[in-house]
Amino acid sequence: MFKALVLEQQDKNVQATIKQLDESALPEGDVLVSVEYSSLNYKDGLAVTGKGKIIRNYPMVPGIDYAGTVLESSDQHYQAGDKVVLTGWGVGENHWGGMAEKARVSADYLVPMPEGLDSKKSMIIGTAGLTAMLCVNSLQEAGVEPEQGEILVTGASGGVGSVAVTLLSKLGYKVAAVTGRPQNREWLQSLGADRIVSRDELLEPARPLEKQLWAGCIDTVGSQVLAKVLTQIKYDGAVAACGLAGGFDLPTTVMPFILRGVKLLGVDSVMCPTEKRVKAWEQLAELLPEAFYQDAGQEVALEEVPELAAAIIRGQVTGRTLIKI
């Protein structure tokens, strides 16, 4: 038997309950993993509260990422005892996820634990950190260099935003962090933000083109905030857009694209090809300083997940939330 957080649907509401399950309940897969850590991401918040149509089939074990040790494997790439990390591929959405003591998956979904990381560190990073790294790589591939000017990070107190601030600062970029929570100013500065921009400034209506302020941006918010940012990007600059914490619409014009050559780069971590994600994990292991793992967030138990899931949707969770299984 093993412990799991199980989501079930009752009268169109989602119920989250801790249950003891038999291993035979686990879905198909060629690798059985003893899960040591998972983490709470915005998407987990949507799944656990039922506020987003993330899950189609119940019962479901949530948890879009996890790390642990292989217990059994019929795949030649993994053996019992190997340390592994998993993010994305629809795990925790349409395949049972990491908020359980055991998980069974396809070997294709796993990444061998990068050197320098362990289960705990890899889940402090988690899907949010991987996404932040993919965003940084996108900006760099688009030619955005530190000497071109400041990089804006929206939703900076969140999981993706806070890791993005840390990574950009480590790579020598000047970072302007956008937050709706002034109380997080000092913490964001300790992560590497050079200045703090109030979210309210970016919620003001945007003209088609505004003063050119930013060489690039990592946007986790979408909607009005992203629309405003696009009008302030410098000539030939780029925005890596990965999130919708403020909404999924984009009320913009073509002006930044056709008159300033601004590039809008979509970033997805879920179906990201294995080669790209393995490289990103190695970069994360190398770039993140030891202090990051102490200051990045909080550690909670499985029992606390439903309450925190509601808080992350309300925008009240700061940094990363590690779940000890």
Ligand X SMILES: NC(=O)c1ccc[n+]([C@@H]2O[C@H](COP(=O)([O-])OP(=O)(O)OC[C@H]3O[C@@H](n4cnc5c(N)ncnc54)[C@H](OP(=O)(O)O)[C@@H]3O)[C@@H](O)[C@H]2O)c1
Judged by the rule CB under 6 A, the positions of this chain that interact with ligand X are 41-43, 127-128, 131, 155-161, 179-181, 199, 220-221, 225, 242-246, 267-270, 312, 315, 317
Closer to ligand X at the Cβ: 6 or 164? 164
Across 194-230, b (16+ Cβ under 10 Å) vs e yields bebbebeebeeebeebeebbbbbbbbbbbbbbbbbbb
Residue nearest to ligand X according to CB distances in the complex? 158
CB 240 to ligand X: min, Å:
10
Q: Is 114 in a helix, a strand, or coil? A: coil
Specify the residue, 51 or 260, whose C-beta has the smaller distance to ligand X. Answer: 51
* DSSP assignment letter at 253: -
The smaller minimum CB distance to ligand X, of residues 67 and 128, is found at: 128
Residues with Cβ < 8 Å from 284, sequence gap 6 or more? 114, 117, 125, 129, 130, 133, 167
Report the residue number, 73 or 131, with the smaller CB distance to ligand X.
131
Spatial contact of 14 and 46, defined as CB atoms under 8 Å apart:
no
List all residues 6 or more positions away from 11 whose beta carbon is below 8 Å from its beta carbon. none
- Cβ-contact 163, 128 below 8 angstroms: yes
Between 61 and 245, CB nearer to ligand X: 245
* Shortest reach from residue 193's CB to ligand X, in Å: 11
C-beta of 301: minimal distance to ligand X in Å?
19
Q: Return the number of the residue (7 or 32) whose C-beta is nearest ligand X.
A: 7
- 206: tokens are 């945007």
Q: From CA 5, how far away is CA 97, in angstroms rounded? A: 10
In whole angstroms, the minimum distance from the beta carbon of 70 to ligand X comes to 25
CB of 185 to ligand X, least distance (A): 10
C-alpha 173/C-alpha 266 separation (Å) is 21
Q: How far is the CB of 317 from ligand X (least distance, A)?
A: 5
| Cβ–Cβ < 8 Å for 151, 238 | no
